Chains A and B, each alone.
Chain A
Amino acid sequence: MSLSTRLSRIIRLVDIYGSQHLKSSRSLMLWPILLLFIVGSCWGLADPEISLPGEIQADTPFEVLFIASGFILLSATLGVVLIGFDGISRKRLSGVLSVELSQPIPRSDLGISMLLGVWGSVLIPTTLLSLVGMVAIHEQMGEWPELGDAILFLVATGMLLFWYASIQLLASSWAKDMGGAIAWGIGTWMMFTMVWVLVTVLVAGILGVEVGDTSDSQYQQLSVWVDLFSPNGVYQMLLESNLDGGLSRRIDSLFVWIAALLWSIIPTWLFLRRFERIQ
Chain B
Amino acid sequence: MAGRRLELVGLGYRHRLHDPQRFKPWNTRPGAGIHDITFSLPTGSIIGLIGANGAGKTTLMRVICGLYEPESGEARLDSETIAAAGMKPQGHAHVGFMPEQVSWPGPGTPRQVLKSLSTMRGDESEHDLDSLFKLVGLSSRSDSPLDSLSQGMRQRLSLAAALLGNPDILVLDEPLNALDPVAQIAFQGLIRQLAQRGHTILVSSHMLAELDRFVDRILVLHRGQVIGEGEMAEVQSALGLVDSMRFSGLGEAPIETFISAGLAVETSRDCEVGHWSLTVDLPRGFSQLQVTELISSLAKSGNPPYLAEKLNHNLAEILAAATGLSPSDVGLEVDDHLVIPLAKFGGEEE
Chain A positions within 8 Å of B, measured between CB atoms, are: 1, 5, 9, 12-13, 16-17, 20, 23-25, 90, 94-96, 98-107, 110, 276-277, 279
CA A122 to CA B94, docked complex, whole Å: 36
**Do residues B68 and A98 form an inter-chain contact, with CB atoms below 8 A?**
no
**Do residues A16 and B116 form an inter-chain contact, with CB atoms below 8 A?**
yes
Q: Which of B59-67, B323-331, B341-349 contacts A (4 or more CB under 8 A)?
A: B59-67
**Do residues B120 and A9 form an inter-chain contact, with CB atoms below 8 A?**
yes
The closest CB in chain A to the CB of B161 belongs to A99
Asked whether any CB of chain A lies closer than 8 Å to the CB of B285, the reply is no
Given A104-B93, A106-B90, A276-B88: A99 touches B119 (CB 8 Å cut-off): no
CB distance from A260 to the nearest CB of B (A): 29
For A98, give its contact among B67, B90, B105 (CB under 8 Å): B67
CA A107 to CA B102, docked complex, whole Å: 20
> Using Cβ atoms and an 8 Å threshold, which residues of chain B touch A99?
97, 99, 102, 117, 158, 161
CB distance from B258 to the nearest CB of A (A): 50
> Using Cβ atoms and an 8 Å threshold, which residues of chain A touch B116?
13, 16-17
**Do residues A94 and B105 form an inter-chain contact, with CB atoms below 8 A?**
yes
**Do residues B119 and A13 form an inter-chain contact, with CB atoms below 8 A?**
yes
CA A101 to CA B83, docked complex, whole Å: 14
B44-69 CB mask vs A (1 if < 8 Å, else 0) is 00000000000000000010011111
CA A72 to CA B114, docked complex, whole Å: 36
CA A276 to CA B89, docked complex, whole Å: 8
Chain B positions within 8 Å of A, measured between CB atoms, are: 62, 65-69, 88-93, 95-97, 99-108, 112, 115-117, 119-122, 158, 161, 165
**Do residues B65 and A102 form an inter-chain contact, with CB atoms below 8 A?**
yes
**Do residues A95 and B106 form an inter-chain contact, with CB atoms below 8 A?**
no
> Using Cβ atoms and an 8 Å threshold, which residues of chain A touch B115?
16
> Using Cβ atoms and an 8 Å threshold, which residues of chain A touch B96?
102
The closest CB in chain B to the CB of A16 belongs to B116
Given A94-B102, A99-B102: A9 touches B67 (CB 8 Å cut-off): no
**Do residues B67 and A95 form an inter-chain contact, with CB atoms below 8 A?**
no
Which of A12, A20, A104 has the most chain B CB within a 10 Å cutoff? A104
Given A105-B121, A110-B120, A279-B68: A98 touches B102 (CB 8 Å cut-off): yes
**Do residues A105 and B120 form an inter-chain contact, with CB atoms below 8 A?**
yes
CA A99 to CA B113, docked complex, whole Å: 11
Extra inter-chain contacts (16) besides given A9-B120, A99-B117, CB under 8 Å: A12-B119, A13-B116, A13-B120, A16-B112, A94-B103, A95-B102, A95-B158, A96-B102, A99-B99, A102-B65, A102-B67, A105-B120, A106-B88, A107-B88, A277-B89, A279-B67
CB distance from B105 to the nearest CB of A (A): 5
> Using Cβ atoms and an 8 Å threshold, which residues of chain B touch A95?
99-103, 158
> Using Cβ atoms and an 8 Å threshold, which residues of chain B touch A24?
106-107
**Do residues A98 and B92 form an inter-chain contact, with CB atoms below 8 A?**
no
> Using Cβ atoms and an 8 Å threshold, which residues of chain A touch B99?
95, 98-99, 102
CB distance from B103 to the nearest CB of A (A): 4
**Do residues A103 and B117 form an inter-chain contact, with CB atoms below 8 A?**
yes
> Using Cβ atoms and an 8 Å threshold, which residues of chain B touch A13?
116, 119-120
**Do residues A9 and B161 form an inter-chain contact, with CB atoms below 8 A?**
no
> Using Cβ atoms and an 8 Å threshold, which residues of chain B touch A103?
91, 117, 120-121
CB distance from A115 to the nearest CB of B (A): 15
The closest CB in chain B to the CB of A17 belongs to B116
**Do residues B102 and A101 form an inter-chain contact, with CB atoms below 8 A?**
no
**Do residues A104 and B121 form an inter-chain contact, with CB atoms below 8 A?**
yes
**Do residues A101 and B105 form an inter-chain contact, with CB atoms below 8 A?**
no
Given A5-B122, A107-B89: A102 touches B102 (CB 8 Å cut-off): no
Given A5-B122, A13-B120, A95-B99: A104 touches B91 (CB 8 Å cut-off): yes
The closest CB in chain B to the CB of A94 belongs to B103
CB distance from A79 to the nearest CB of B (A): 18
**Do residues B66 and A102 form an inter-chain contact, with CB atoms below 8 A?**
yes
**Do residues A9 and B117 form an inter-chain contact, with CB atoms below 8 A?**
no
CB distance from B16 to the nearest CB of A (A): 9
Listed from nearest, the 7 A-B pairs whose CB atoms lie closest are A95-B102, A102-B97, A103-B120, A102-B91, A98-B99, A104-B93, A94-B103
**Do residues A20 and B158 form an inter-chain contact, with CB atoms below 8 A?**
no
Given A16-B119, A99-B158: A104 touches B92 (CB 8 Å cut-off): yes
> Using Cβ atoms and an 8 Å threshold, which residues of chain B touch A9?
119-120, 122
Given A94-B105, A96-B104: A101 touches B119 (CB 8 Å cut-off): no
CB distance from B165 to the nearest CB of A (A): 8
Q: Could you write out 21 A-B pairs with CB less than 8 Å apart?
A: A1-B122, A9-B120, A12-B119, A17-B116, A95-B100, A95-B102, A96-B104, A96-B105, A99-B158, A99-B161, A101-B91, A102-B97, A102-B99, A103-B120, A104-B91, A104-B165, A105-B90, A107-B88, A107-B90, A276-B88, A279-B62
**Do residues B106 and A20 form an inter-chain contact, with CB atoms below 8 A?**
yes
CB distance from B274 to the nearest CB of A (A): 52
CB distance from B28 to the nearest CB of A (A): 13
> Using Cβ atoms and an 8 Å threshold, which residues of chain A touch B122?
1, 5, 9, 104-105
> Using Cβ atoms and an 8 Å threshold, which residues of chain B touch A102?
65-67, 91, 95-97, 99
Which of A13, A17, A103 has the most chain B CB within a 10 Å cutoff? A103
**Do residues A20 and B108 form an inter-chain contact, with CB atoms below 8 A?**
yes
> Using Cβ atoms and an 8 Å threshold, which residues of chain A touch B68?
279
> Using Cβ atoms and an 8 Å threshold, which residues of chain A touch B101?
95
> Using Cβ atoms and an 8 Å threshold, which residues of chain B touch A96?
102-105
CA A103 to CA B165, docked complex, whole Å: 10
CA A16 to CA B116, docked complex, whole Å: 7
